[in-house]
Copies of this chain bind each other. A is one copy, B any other.
Amino acid sequence: MKYSFKNDYSEGCHPSILKALNDTNLVQQDGYGEDEYSAEAKRLIKKKFNCPPDASVHLVSGGTQANLLVISAALRPYQSVISAETGHINTHEAGAIEAGGHKINSEKTTDGKLTPEICQKALDFNSNFPHMVKPKMVYISNSTELGTHYNLNELEDLYDFCSSNGLYLFMDGARLAQGLTAESNDLKPEELSKLVDAFYVGGTKNGALLGEAIVINNLEIQKDFEFYMKQRGALLAKGRLIGIQFNELMKKDLYFELGRTANRKAMKIKNALKQKGCTFLTDSDTNQIFPILPNDWIDQLLKEFGFYVWEKTDKKHSAVRLITSWATPDEAVEKLIEQIEKL
């Protein structure tokens, strides 16, 4: 079978997590997230990300769910959310945000990242006028859907902009570990909470079987959040399942180690491609890279590896997406590099 670089959720979970699930399996615990493991996981997350004491943490099963819950809880029906055109909520969530009643003000970007200038355009267009929606939130992904990430000053600028315009800033962290451990990143986990109103810590794409930990720093968004979760089917009866996993990811540094590992593997492949003279759709140093390749190279590589062709860039070239994860075997990376060198 061909080895797949299609995504970072092709395997089960990290062995330490599996061990923890085995060890705790028959301990009786309260349901619906009221278990001790979830409580401890929440405590660890708040510590790791230096959250304010009154921040709340909520464990849910996936990214689309996390996004629709936070956005629904934050916005009134006529309010909208500003997103990069490439943002996950705008492209790959089957209209989940609109199904919750909210318009997405989608804005073009070059690299999947929003800036104050780009967000200002959405505000200019939707002035405070009751015939139009009223933007109330800015949604960003870190790392983004194009593999890029936000550095400290970029996030500071954006948060300043949001604060002075009465907008919430919400960070989709499906690949937060990968963003925060990118080589060129200078944003520290402990700086994050003071720069966003809410964010989530992605587990599914970084070693867990499932699970995203939503962190809500802004009290306005917190109110009765469990009610939203239950109403949307997001409150797991055996909430312990996610609690145990985040416990394991957070109790030492496993969460960031796995992100770093995933990135390192991608960077090896990136370097091999660079040496072949390839260019890239975006300048990513996280675990998603988008090299632009001649179409015949793509055909050849597809014989032995699985990956997605992302978009045509000209008649003879396309960008492809290659993803690595904590679970990608070194030999798969080496074999791919070997093939690249032979092209």
Contacts and interface: CB of A to CB of B under 8 A. Distances in A.
State how many copies of this chain the complex holds: 4
A13 B28 contact: no
A1 B35 CA distance: 14
Nearest to A231: B94
Contacts of A9: 31, 237-238
Given A10-B31, A226-B130, A25 B21 contact: no
Interface residues of A, number: 78
A149 to B, nearest CB: 21
Contact of A236 (B32, B61, B77, B237): B61
A94 B11 contact: no
A219 interface: no
A80 interface: yes
A113 interface: no
A31 to B, nearest CB: 5
Contacts of A25: 11-13, 15, 18
A264 interface: no
Interface of A: 1, 3-4, 6-7, 9-13, 15, 18, 21-22, 24-32, 60-69, 72, 76-78, 80, 91-96, 98-104, 130-134, 204-205, 209-210, 223-224, 226-238, 240-241, 327
